[in-house]
Amino acid sequence: MVCTVRGLVKTYPAARGRRGAPATPAVRASDGIDLDVVRGEVFGLLGPNGAGKSTLVRQLTGLLRPDEGHVRVLGHDLVRHPERAARLLGYLGQDSTALDELTVALAAETTARLRGLETRAARAERDAVIEELGLGEVAGRPLKKLSGGQRRLACVAAALVGERPLLVLDEPTSGMDPVARRAVWAAVDRRRAERGVTVVLVTHNVIEAETVLDRVAVLDRGRVIACDTPAGLKALVADEVRLELVWRTEPPLDVPEVAALWKTVETARAGGGAAGRRWTLRLPPDDARAAIATVTGGPAFAALDDFTLATPSLEDVYIALGGRAEGAEGLVKA
């Protein structure tokens, strides 16, 4: 077991209102979290904004002291010895201020030096990681002058230098183009295959989560509401598929079958519903097939602009588990 978390509780105190800033109530950002991360896996933390993902990783990395609970990483008690975290894991935070004015090459080299490498080794690692992530062209430019995705990639480079058995990455690929994303996942995968590196990953992006994660914990309001493989989670809602209908203009409610569908849409629980001309339905496969037959044949077809039928995604799982419906929109960022 690389990382064990038991009964983790962290409450941010209430803030008094100031001029221009309203008072905020106390927030229980971690509310009794239990987790086990196994060696060599890519473990994801998924959830909407404010679910407590970053608070959790900040406690895993010794940056934040929990109010209650235990964090053990590779056999070390990080609540008692938070300073050991820096010698066990590599961390990629959301902010790049510390590196912004350095060039990409110097950011990687300095970080390697500060991870305890000798000059020669640090330079070798710097060159290797720049090559690996395809940063060669921008190596001599300061991070501040790069686009958001490239800057993020440079921060990933800094997080990867110096071998660490555990990598904790907070939204590593946010703002990246597909090429950069692929480079990051290839680099992570190589470290896992060659050195058995474990990765704990915060993500917002459901599609990415499905492809790169071995296991995923879904967080909502500081709690783990589910934890399984992406496939295992999706099996929870395997009896339903998602049907999206887009109408050209007004939906043809005079067609009785469409009117019946509209009733389903209207009464749909969280995650279904209508947004203008777009209807989203979660239906058993047979019903979905029948609905498609209705709208693609007969008079309704003339009014139909587009339709999609999809097997459940992690987003559907999240909604089925009772996550906040309004937060679900923040779940898919890409």
Question: Site residues for other proteins, window 186-225 (CB under 8 A)?
Answer: 189, 192-196, 211-215
* Alpha-carbon span 43 to 201, nearest angstrom: 6
* Alpha-carbon span 203 to 218, nearest angstrom: 10
Quick one: which of 49, 65, 238, 298 contacts other proteins (CB under 8 A)?
Answer: 65
Quick one: which of 47, 66, 93, 272 contacts other proteins (CB under 8 A)?
Answer: 93
The label of the residue with tokens 């493989």 reads 229
CA angle 267, 273, 277 (to 5 degrees): 130
Please say whether the beta carbons of 307 and 301 come within 8 A.
Answer: no
- Identify which range of 54-62, 248-256, 270-278, 300-308 contacts other proteins by CB under 8 A: 54-62
CB of 157 to other proteins, least distance (A): 13
Is the Cβ of residue 65 or residue 248 nearer to other proteins in the bound state?
Answer: 65
CB of 36 to other proteins, least distance (A): 5
Quick one: which of 31, 41, 132, 257 contacts other proteins (CB under 8 A)?
Answer: 41
Phi/psi at 79 (5° precision): -75, -40
Q: Interface mask (CB under 8 A) for other proteins, residues 99-138, using x and -?
A: x-xxx--xx-xxx-xxxx-xx-------------------
**Both tokens of residue 308?**
């999609």
CB of 277 to other proteins, least distance (A): 36
CB of 145 to other proteins, least distance (A): 9
Is the Cβ of residue 196 or residue 298 nearer to other proteins in the bound state?
Answer: 196
Quick one: which of 61, 173, 203, 205 contacts other proteins (CB under 8 A)?
Answer: 61
Is the Cβ of residue 90 or residue 323 nearer to other proteins in the bound state?
Answer: 90
Q: Counting contacts by CB under 8 A, is residue 181 touching other proteins?
A: no
CB of 77 to other proteins, least distance (A): 9
